[in-house]
Chain A
Amino acid sequence: MPFNVNPAELFGAVLDGILTGTVYALMATGLSLIFGVLDIIDVAQAGYVILAAYLSFVLQGVLHIDLFLGLLITMPLLFLVGLAVELAFIRPLKRERTQLSILVTFGIGLVIEGVLGMAFGTTEQGLQAWYVTHGFQIGNAYVPYMYVFAFILAVVLIAALFVLLYRTKFGRSVRALMQNRTAAQLIGINVERVSAITFAIGVALTAAGGMAYGATTPFNNNSWYDLITRLFAIIILGGLGSVQGALIGAIIMLVCSDVTAVVWSPVWSSAVFFLALVLLLLFRPQGLFGRVATRKQ
Chain B
Amino acid sequence: MKRSLNPRLVKIVWPLLLLVAAILFPLVFPNPALDNIAVLTLMYAAMATAWNIFSGYTGYNSLGHSTFFGFGAYVIALISVDKGLEGGFSLFLLVPVAGVVAALAAIPIGWITLRTRGHAFVVITLITVFIFQLLAFNLRGFTNGSIGLFLPAPGFGVDWFLLPYYYIQLAILVLALLTSLYIRSSRYGLWLLAIRDDEDRAEGLGVRTGTSKLIAFVISAFFVGMVGAMYAYFIGSIYPQYVFDPALTITIVLMAFLGGVGTLAGPILGAIILETAQQYFSIYAPTGLYQIFLGALFLIVILLMPQGIVPSLARLWTAWRVRRGAGGTPVAPERQPVAVEKG
Chain A residues at the B interface, C-beta cutoff of 8 Å = 35, 41, 89, 92-93, 95-96, 98-100, 102-104, 106-119, 121-122, 221, 225, 229, 232-233, 236, 240, 267-268, 270-271, 274-275, 277-278, 281-282, 285-287, 293, 295
Contacts and interface: CB of A to CB of B under 8 A. Distances in A.
Interface stretch (B71-79, B117-125, B206-214, B318-326): B117-125
Given A106-B298, A110-B295, A270-B130, 11 more contacts: A93-B306, A98-B118, A104-B298, A104-B299, A104-B302, A108-B299, A114-B294, A233-B127, A236-B127, A268-B138, A293-B118
A277 B287 CA distance: 36
Contacts of A104: 298-299, 302-303
Interface of A is mostly: helix
Contact of A114 (B123, B292, B302): B292
Contact of B127 (A95, A121, A278, A285): A278
A233 B127 CA distance: 8
Interface of B: 59, 61, 112-113, 115-120, 122-124, 126-128, 130-131, 134-135, 137-138, 200, 246-247, 250, 253-254, 257, 286-299, 302-303, 306
Contact of B119 (A41, A103, A277): A41
A111 B296 contact: yes
Contacts of B293: 114
Contacts of A122: 287
Which 9 pairs between the two chains have the least Cβ-Cβ distance? Answer: A117-B288, A114-B291, A110-B295, A107-B298, A114-B292, A111-B295, A118-B288, A271-B134, A114-B288
B126 A278 contact: no
25 contacts: A96-B306, A106-B298, A107-B299, A107-B302, A111-B291, A112-B295, A114-B288, A114-B293, A115-B292, A117-B288, A118-B287, A122-B287, A229-B127, A232-B127, A240-B120, A267-B138, A271-B135, A271-B138, A275-B131, A277-B124, A278-B127, A278-B128, A281-B116, A285-B116, A285-B120
Nearest to B140: A267
Contact of A233 (B123, B289, B299): B123
A111 B290 CA distance: 9
Nearest to B293: A114
Contacts of B299: 89, 104, 107-108, 111
Contacts of B295: 106-114
Contact of A229 (B119, B246, B257): B246
Contacts of B250: 106
Contacts of B138: 267-268, 271
A35 B247 CA distance: 23
Contacts of A112: 295
Contact of A240 (B119, B246, B292): B119
B65 to A, nearest CB: 15
B126 A110 contact: no
A35 B295 CA distance: 21
Contacts of A236: 120, 123-124, 127
Contacts of A229: 126-127, 130, 246
B112 A281 contact: yes
A121 B289 CA distance: 11
A233 B122 CA distance: 11
Contacts of B246: 225, 229
A37 to B, nearest CB: 14
B134 A270 contact: yes
Contacts of B128: 278
Contacts of A274: 127, 130-131, 134
A62 B303 CA distance: 37
Contacts of B298: 103-104, 106-107, 110
Contact of B134 (A118, A268, A281, A293): A268
A108 B299 CA distance: 8
B75 to A, nearest CB: 21
Contacts of A295: 200
A113 B291 CA distance: 7
A117 B118 CA distance: 32
A117 B294 contact: no
A41 B122 contact: yes
A103 B130 contact: no
A274 B122 CA distance: 14
Contacts of A118: 286-289, 292
Contacts of B112: 278, 281-282
Contacts of A232: 123, 126-127
B169 to A, nearest CB: 27
Nearest to A112: B295
Contacts of A114: 288-295
Contacts of B254: 103, 106
A287 B116 CA distance: 10
